[in-house]
Chains A and B, each alone.
Chain A
Amino acid sequence: MMKKLYIVLPTCAFIFLLFFFSCTKQKDEGITISFLDAEDKSGAWAEVIQRFEKNNPGIHVNLIEGPASTNTRQSQYAAALLAGDSTYDLIYLDVIWVAKFAEAGWLVPLNDRFPPAMRDKYLPGDIQASTYDGQIWRVPIRTDGGMLYYRKDLLENADVRPPETFDQLVSEAERLQAPPDLWGFVFMGKQYEGLTCAFLEVLRGYGGGVIGSNNECLLDSPESIAAFSWMHDSVFKNKIVPQAVRTYEENETLAAFLSGKSVFMRNWPYAWKVCQEQNSAVRGKVGIMPMVHAPGESSSATLGGWGFGVSTFSQHKEEAWKFASYVGGPEAQKIFALKHGGAPSLKSLCKDPDLLTLNPHYPELYEVLLYAEPRPVNPHYPEISDVIQRHVSAVLTDTEAPEDAAHAATEEINVILKRNSEKGDSSRG
């Protein structure tokens, strides 16, 4: 017994001391700012963080690498924030989370720190989408807009010009495709947020919209039925889209296009850089253009994008803001644009000579982004989007007719809008 004690006691003391020293050591090293994003494949975050830490001794930035799925990362943030947890000092916000997170009281309003003079440097859509209830909640870092990628080589060989209308896209895809090795068109067809983005571009390209000025749903319209029908027909009638598209998120969509399995692709700006990489089968063979539209209508791009919000529960809000504003600035955004691809949300960088030589597509991209349309800015947007996802997915699996989908989606969205406007009235009154 005594013999054992000789071993146990010093071991315990040692472990205790180890904890003690590791804790105090951390204190000496300063403050750590944490946030969550997908895996840093390009190494852009690493470089940005390294530069920031060099210029700001005493502040450490910890990128917690999470899943690639945006939905899952949102749940991770929400779970921590619901609990009032200070794990994340900064929230790397998808543009559509802003209204909801602000409404929940999880974000620090940034009007004082982020004055209008500073906001003017950013793309208008990004600022518009970061503003809710008279306050700005987010520093834009990366901007996104959906666009159409096409295989320049295939189109040139067949002597066809890039399509402008939905019908042209279908006829060119039908002509050039050779399934199952080469499909006409791929997009994000899985039942998730990306499907709403893709659908909105078709809907708006037909001249439709989701929510009208009187807070009513507009989906039960001929334009909307045309959009649902086009999605349906591209899978079942014209067969330019593989059925597997129903399992595609961004990565799967890009993988299909990268391996040369599709003529056209709907994706975000980040895909451009990946297409130009060494091991890409479509390197130098890719063109981009705005999404197609119906005759007489104009192209639409769904605005996406990412930026930093400061968590209400952070214990180091000043330091967090310091990092957020650095990442929102030109130096860090340039690193992002160079390493990660995608598009910067600072207007000046869209004309940066270094970036232009690497990204000859920036002028076209800039035009798309200047007029990119946000998704409905509403704290209940996730519910509205869920309705759209369910019905578009039902149409893509042929379980619902386009007319029925348009009709049912309208009813369901009206219920959401009505329920929440009543709630808002009663809380005010």
Chain B
Amino acid sequence: MTLLARTRKFHPDLPFLLVIILPAVLLCAFVFLYPAFLAVRASVLGGGTASYQHYGRLLKDSLFLQSLAKTFVFAGISVSLEFVLGFGIALLLAAPMKGRGFFRAALLVPWVLPPAVMGFAWRWIFYEDYGIINDILMRTGLVAAPIPFLADPHWAFGTIIFADMWKTAPFVGVILLAGLAVIPADLYEAAAVDGAGRMRRFFLITLPMLTPYILTALLFRLVQTIGIFDLVWVLTGGGPSSSTEMVSLYITKETFSFLNIGYGAALSMALFAIVLVIAIIISFFSRRRY
């Protein structure tokens, strides 16, 4: 009784609220928390006793650190470009024009396609021998030899950035578009009356009002990009010369190919910690009021 009374202090309906989220919590516990617990356990169990040997090893694992660095570079470039492109898309589609509904719907097509399917499509497009782009370039005489989109380490890295950007810029666009839609028009009118030009209005109204949306999109995109797997797996498999071996591919290899389950679990935990820190930083910023 006292417990119930105490819970009501936080929120009048707390017991009821707890009951209605219970099924979701149980489901999460079953499909997420339990496996996560097993992974933590596997990561600290070395030869039957608890130890941190796996964690000690990963700090000295230069291949892991290289793949991590590669993933950050990839995420940095890819997410930045997605934001530039996504912002452009959002600004274009926020303006009234003919056929806006169609474009808004079409925007979602890349986003809803499964990454693995798109990986195959991109492979078909970028392939050196029978790829469509090289075929067009060769026929039109723009290049003398096929461009090694997937066969050259630098090109392959760029190709993956391009493929990822194509797919996810619309996602950023859609979120920012939603943000633009809720900015009251009278703010702009008031600013215009006060003599603010286009650029000033953008920086004083649009950008601050959009910040929560930008941070939300940033959070989703960074977390997803750092964990990117399917697109790379299908498109290049990590090669050539490990140039596109992102951290999730490295972890998969350690776990399922080498069967170093404990070490693979420790690597996953490390990646989880990194993603968590990023998420906390972004959440911290989004709590601030502008």
Contact = CB atoms under 8 A, between A and B. Distances in A.
A413 B15 CA distance: 59
B148 A244 contact: yes
Interface in A51-100: 69, 71, 74-75, 78-79, 82, 100
A100 B256 CA distance: 11
A393 B242 CA distance: 8
| Secondary structure type dominating chain B contacts | loop
A256 B256 CA distance: 31
B240 A246 contact: yes
Contacts of A383: 258
Contacts of A393: 239-242
A274 B199 CA distance: 65
Given A244-B146, A247-B150, A256 B129 contact: yes
A399 interface: yes
Interface string A252-273: 1001100001000000000000
Contacts of A382: 257-259
B206 interface: no
B264 to A, nearest CB: 10
B56 interface: no
A192 interface: yes
B128 A244 contact: yes
A380 interface: yes
Nearest to A244: B128
Contacts, number: 89
Contacts of B47: 423, 426-427
B253 interface: yes
A243 B128 contact: yes
- Interface pairs A-B: 10 shortest CB-CB: A191-B239, A244-B128, A246-B240, A397-B241, A75-B256, A246-B151, A394-B241, A393-B241, A78-B256, A244-B151
Given A75-B256, A191-B239, A191-B242, 19 more contacts: A74-B256, A82-B259, A104-B259, A180-B145, A190-B237, A247-B151, A261-B129, A382-B258, A383-B258, A386-B253, A386-B257, A393-B239, A393-B240, A396-B241, A397-B152, A397-B243, A423-B47, A426-B47, A427-B47
Contact of A246 (B238, B239, B253): B239
B61 to A, nearest CB: 11
A121 interface: no
Interface string B247-276: 000001100111101000000000000000
A242 interface: yes
The CB with the most chain B CB atoms within 10 A, among A78, A191, A192, A380, is that of A191
Contacts of B239: 190-192, 246-247, 393
A142 B239 CA distance: 29
Given A243-B148, A244-B146, A247-B150, A75 B257 contact: yes
Given A180-B146, A399-B153, A79 B237 contact: no
B259 to A, nearest CB: 6
Interface of B: 47, 127-129, 145-146, 148, 150-153, 236-243, 252-253, 256-259, 261
Interface of A: 69, 71, 74-75, 78-79, 82, 100, 104, 180, 190-192, 242-247, 252, 255-256, 261, 380, 382-383, 386, 390, 393-394, 396-397, 399-400, 423, 426-427
Contacts of B261: 82
A75 B240 contact: no
Contact of B153 (A74, A397, A427): A397
A397 to B, nearest CB: 4
B69 to A, nearest CB: 16
A247 B128 contact: yes
A71 B257 contact: yes
A191 B241 contact: yes
A192 B242 CA distance: 10
A191 B240 contact: yes
A245 B239 CA distance: 12
Contacts of B150: 247
A380 B237 contact: no
A190 B237 CA distance: 9
Contacts of A243: 128, 148, 151-152
A427 B49 CA distance: 13
A399 to B, nearest CB: 5
Contacts of A427: 47
B139 to A, nearest CB: 13
Contacts of B128: 242-244, 247
The CB with the most chain B CB atoms within 10 A, among A69, A78, A261, is that of A78
Nearest to B261: A82
Given A242-B128, A256-B129, A397-B152, A247 B257 contact: no
Given A244-B148, A247-B151, A79 B240 contact: no
Nearest to A76: B256
Contacts of A400: 241
Nearest to B123: A247
17 contacts: A74-B257, A82-B259, A82-B261, A190-B239, A191-B241, A191-B242, A242-B129, A244-B128, A244-B151, A246-B148, A246-B240, A247-B151, A247-B240, A261-B129, A393-B240, A393-B242, A397-B153
